[in-house]
Every structure is written in C-alpha cells, then in structure tokens.
Structure 1
Amino acid sequence: MLDLLAPGEPLPVGSVGHRSLGWWGMWMLIATEAALFAYLLFSYAYLGALASGAWVPELPKLKLALPNTVLLLASSGVLWWGERGIRRGARGRLLLALAVTVAMGAVFVGVQLLEWRDKSYGPAAGAYASSYFITTGFHLAHVVAGLLVLLTLLIWTALGKFDARRHAAVSTGALYWHFVDAVWLAVFFTFYLWPRLA
C-alpha cells in the first residue's frame, strides 16, 4: 500500500479545477431544488386560475422588491468577479468579493423581512397569501443557506485554503448562489410582475 505513492511526491491537495465531484453533486442538488420551486410556482398559478374573484389581495409594491432584486443579482456579479480572481491566484480579490457578497445577501434578507412585516395580510389569510409566504420563505431559507456557505468560504479563503490550482469549493458554492439568484427572478416575476401584467 505504501508503494502506491512515489517517494518525494506531494500528497494530493483535494479537488483541482472547478469541475470536481462536488460541482456535479451541486448540479444534482440544484435540479431537485429547481423542481421544488417549479412545483411551488405551478401551484400558485393553478390556485390563481381556480380562484373566483380577486386572486391578489393587494398589488405587490416594487418599492422594496425591485431594488432588492437588483441587489441580489449584483451580488452574483460580485461573486463571479471573485471566483475569476482566484482562478488567477488573486486570493485578496476573492476575499473581498465574498465579504461584499455576504453583506449584500444579508441586506437582501433584511429587506425581505421588512417587506413581510409591511404586508396587510398574513400567511393564513388565503391561498394567495399562503402561496406567497411559503414560496418567498423557501427562497429566503435558501438565501440563508447560501450565506452560510459563503461565510464558510470566506473563512477558508482568509485561512489561505484556496489558490489558482485548488478552488473547487469556491466554484461549487458560487454555483449554488447563482442558482438562488436565478430562482429569485422566477419568484419576482410570478409574485411581483405577473399581477401587474394580468
């Protein structure tokens, strides 16, 4: 067994590149989570089609939701910039990008909670309200999970765990964050823009 490693050869450093097993595993997780959101959005549309009378109790306000959407999408751009940096060995750039992305994500969570507080109805007010709070709540839970992943990556980056050769965990974590942002676009269109178009 000991003769499997050549003398003087360095030990493996873990996943090299960005398409590691974790990266493929994240795609499988994204597929299942995308199905969950597809079901939630389909149920919203189905219940809305069956509703007699006014489906939406009040037209959703864009005052908080639109800037919050722009903020979340911009956070994906910042994270992408940091990921590109570590591929070139710029650990400081990744560290800055992760810190900024975490801050932007935390602001998104805070604004979403403010928006919930300002609603004139609660989750039990009807099918629309239930659908709204469940779907945005599931998304918010995914944002919080993404923030925990990004905080872990931030700590590992500060400890010098990543370089131009070894950064698979960064790519995997970034993939999840981009997914969370893409899902928000579907949620935003469904709950904030579609009622205005209809």
Structure 2
Amino acid sequence: MKKNHPFHMVTKSPWPILASMNIMTLMVGSVKWMQTKETSLMTMGMVTLTMVTSMWWRDVNRESTFQGNHTLKVKSLMKMGMIMFILSEVMFFVSMFWMFFHSSLSPSIEIGMNWPPKSIKTFNPMEIPLLNTIILISSGVTVTWAHQAVLAGKMNQSNKSLAMTVMLGIYFTILQKWEYNQSQFTMSDSVYGSSFFMATGFHGLHVMIGTIFIMVMMMRCSKMHFSKENHLGLEAAIWYWHFVDVVWLFLYLSIYWWGK
C-alpha cells in the first residue's frame, strides 16, 4: 500500500495486551513470593512475559530488517525514545545517590551520627570493586570496538568484540554475586545496608539486562541484520551499555571509595 508520509503505521498485534497481562501476573506473583515464598506464579509470569516480549521484538526486527518500514524519520524517533528511556533511568539512579548522600553527609542520631554506622564492615574498594570497575571499562572499549567494526563493514570483527563484551558482563555479574556472598552486613543493617544493596543491586540488574541486550545484538549481527547505514538496535544497546558503565563509575567512587 502506497504511503504519502514517512511514518510507520503498525499493524494489529496481540503482544501489547498479552504483555500487560503477563506483567500483572509477574507483579502479583512477586508480591506472593515476598509474603509466602511461593514462586510458581512469579515464575509463570516471568516465563510468559519473556516469551511474549521475544515475539514482539521479533516482529519489530522483521518490520525493520526485512520489510523496510523503519524510515529515517521512524529511526530518528526511535533514537529519541531510547534517549528518553535512558534519561528516565538516570533519574532513577539519581534518587539512589540522593538517598546515599543525604544519609552519609549528615548521619542521623539513630545510626550514631557516624558514616558508615558503627559495626558495619565495608568492602575494600581496592579489591573486587576495583576489578569490577576495570571489567566494565574494558567492556565499554570492546562494545565501542564493535560499533566501529560495523561502521567499517567488518561484521566478523564486530561479532568477536560483542562476544567479548558479553563475557565481560557475565564475569562482572559473577564477581558481584561472589561479593554479596562475602558481605558482613545485610540490607536490613541500617540505612547503609539499604542504600548499598539498593544501588548496587539495581545496577547489577541493569548489567544483566544489558548483557542480554548485547547478546541479542550479537545474534542479529551474525545473521547479517546490520549494515553500515542501518544498525539502530546495536546503537541502542551500546548507548545502554555505556550508561551502565558510567553509573558504575559513580557507584564505585561514591559508595565504595568515598563512603567507606
């Protein structure tokens, strides 16, 4: 059908309503898990939501890669949407840093007017945290290498650098889990424990999401979905990964190093 505008008018799809139903199932299941430790409903919601979103994104890939519906105007608007999403994530972490600095710069009498509170044994910033910082900075280098390789038309080189980024992301997550296991304080140990595990835990979740994002882009790159001119999905993944890198640098400098 001939169009007289540059926009993409999407066709009818079952995925939005199914995704909303599965998100509701996941939310109710999560509440049930917190109250009763029963995981069946939460697991069902997570599995079905993963399936629905996979089908939805598959359709988006078909619309862009094979049907050519993503015009320059559509791509510019999608880039703006990704930028706005990352800005919303920035504000989310701003609230975490606000909580941390509000509590650390003027410790209340309830925690003994000390920071860190008495009896809290903090992590040494020159050990696992520093290694994780090196890992994430290295992953930022490899993902930038992947982007430059795509711009040069070297898809095989891009695949290798994306694989390295995925491995570094997985390595970071393993070390973060090991660090949590070694922790001598918990989330319920005053405002320090709450702010530490909320900030680093949500960052760890973003690392896992970013790793999956990069992994999917690696699969698409291996199937030759990208070209020098058209690789919007890869660009979005790279932006998201750099956001994760920068947030970790602020976390390391403020919570691990300055706030110890």
Name the counterpart of 2:88: 32
CA-to-partner distance for each residue in 1:171-194, whole Å, 9 max, x for gaps?
111000000100011111111111
TM-score, normalised to structure 1, is: 0.88
Residues 1:41 and 2:97 aligned together: yes
* Structure 2 runs not aligned, ≥5 long: 5-65
Residues 1:156 and 2:189 aligned together: no
Aligned counterparts of 2:236 and 2:150: Cα–Cα separation in 1:
13
Residue 55 of structure 1 aligns with an amino acid whose one-letter code is W
Checking the alignment, whether the CA contact within 8 Å between 2:203 and 2:248 is kept in structure 1 is: yes
Residues 1:110 and 2:167 aligned together: no
What is the CA-CA distance between 1:127 and the residue it aligns to?
A: 0.8
Q: Which runs of 4+ in 1 moved over 2 A?
A: 1-4, 10-16, 19-23, 50-55
Instruction: Please give the root-mean-square deviation of Cα atoms over the aligned residues, in Å.
Output: 1.9
Residue 171 of structure 1 aligns with an amino acid whose one-letter code is E
Q: For 1:98, which of 156, 162, 166 is the aligned residue?
A: 162
Aligned counterparts of 1:91 and 1:69: Cα–Cα separation in 2:
28
Which structure is higher in RCO with an 8 Å CA cutoff and minimum separation 6?
A: 1
Name the counterpart of 1:193: 257
Checking the alignment, whether the CA contact within 8 Å between 1:20 and 1:168 is kept in structure 2 is: no
Name the counterpart of 1:178: 242
Shift in alpha-carbon separation, 1:3–1:69, aligned structure 2, 3 A: closer
Name the counterpart of 2:38: none
* Structure 1 runs not aligned, ≥5 long: 5-9
Name the counterpart of 1:7: none
Checking the alignment, whether the CA contact within 8 Å between 1:136 and 1:187 is kept in structure 2 is: yes
The alignment partner of 2:211 has SS state of: helix
Percent identical among aligned pairs is 26
Checking the alignment, whether the CA contact within 8 Å between 2:107 and 2:115 is kept in structure 1 is: no
Q: What is the aligned length?
A: 189
Name the counterpart of 1:55: 115
Residue 148 of structure 2 aligns with an amino acid whose one-letter code is R
What is the correspondence of 1:14-33 to structure 2 with a 5 Å cutoff? Answer: 14=70, 20-33=76-89
What is the CA-CA distance between 1:2 and the residue it aligns to?
A: 4.3
What is the CA-CA distance between 1:195 and the residue it aligns to?
A: 2.5
Shift in alpha-carbon separation, 1:3–1:13, aligned structure 2, 3 A: closer
Checking the alignment, whether the CA contact within 8 Å between 1:22 and 1:169 is kept in structure 2 is: no
Aligned counterparts of 1:180 and 1:80: Cα–Cα separation in 2:
14
Checking the alignment, whether the CA contact within 8 Å between 1:139 and 1:180 is kept in structure 2 is: yes
Aligned counterparts of 2:167 and 2:94: Cα–Cα separation in 1:
28
Aligned counterparts of 1:101 and 1:11: Cα–Cα separation in 2:
30
CA-to-partner distance for each residue in 1:80-139, whole Å, 9 max, x for gaps?
011011011110111011100000000001101111111101111111001100110110
The alignment partner of 1:50 has SS state of: coil
Shift in alpha-carbon separation, 1:123–1:158, aligned structure 2, 3 A: same
150-159 vs 51-60, which moves further: 51-60
Checking the alignment, whether the CA contact within 8 Å between 2:139 and 2:169 is kept in structure 1 is: yes
